């Protein structure tokens, strides 16, 4: 099963999203980062999930475990809590992408477990969205992923 770690980043001057897609062994396949339009934490977290799942589907990775440190986003997508009205369109877009998956799970993870995705989401890449493959990962990201893979506390 493919594992998708997603995160959003919201500062006073920038909203961005990012994530890392891993294969079943835990090896990174790709990372993505982009600028968002939403100025809410929930909106940018949901958009990170939307983009990550979209990339999984595009790359024929149809069995996906989605991991986010946003408990609210996870609970909304798992239909544990109601979605705020201003996020319903985005939630509906995510649900439509989910229909392409053969198998999915959506899990909340603690922020400490999501550090590589947090690092990616915080990268300033200018406008648009960038896909980054492992040979081009920044050294700090490589170290975070190595620590994560080795289960280093």
Q: Please report, rounded to a whole number, the percentage of residues in the chain having pLDDT higher than 70.
A: 97
Q: Does the pLDDT value for residue 147 go beyond 80?
A: no
- pTM for the full model? 0.92
pLDDT tens digits, 19-55: 999 998 888 999 999 998 877 899 999 999 999 999 9
Q: Edge-to-edge, what's the strand order for the sheet holding 28-35?
A: 103-108, 63-68, 2-10, 15-22, 28-35, 129-132
Token pair for 18: 């990012």
Q: Give residue 151's pLDDT band: very low, low, confident or very high (50, 70, 90).
A: low
Q: Does the pLDDT value for residue 152 go beyond 80?
A: no
Residue 144: what pLDDT?
87
Please report, for the chain, the start and end positions of each structural domain, with discontinuous segments joined by +. 2-149
Residue 45: what pLDDT?
95
Enter the CATH code of domain 2-149.
3.30.420.10
CA distance 99 to 78: 14
């Amino acid at each position: 099963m493919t594992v998708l770690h997603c995160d959003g980043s919201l500062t006073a001057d920038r909203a961005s999203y990012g994530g890392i897609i891993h294969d079943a062994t835990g090896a990174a396949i790709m990372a993505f980062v982009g600028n968002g339009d939403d100025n809410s934490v929930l909106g940018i977290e949901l958009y990170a999930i939307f983009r990550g799942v979209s990339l999984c589907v595009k790359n024929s990775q149809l069995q996906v475990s989605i991991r986010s440190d946003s408990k609210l986003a996870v609970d909304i997508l798992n239909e544990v809590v109601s979605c705020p009205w201003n996020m319903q369109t985005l939630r509906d877009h995510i649900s439509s992408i989910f229909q392409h998956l053969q198998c999915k799970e959506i899990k909340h993870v603690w922020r400490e477990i999501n550090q590589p995705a947090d690092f990616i989401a915080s990268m300033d890449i200018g406008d648009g969205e960038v896909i980054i493959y492992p040979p081009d990962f920044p050294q700090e990201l490589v170290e975070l992923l190595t620590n994560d893979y080795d289960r280093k506390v």
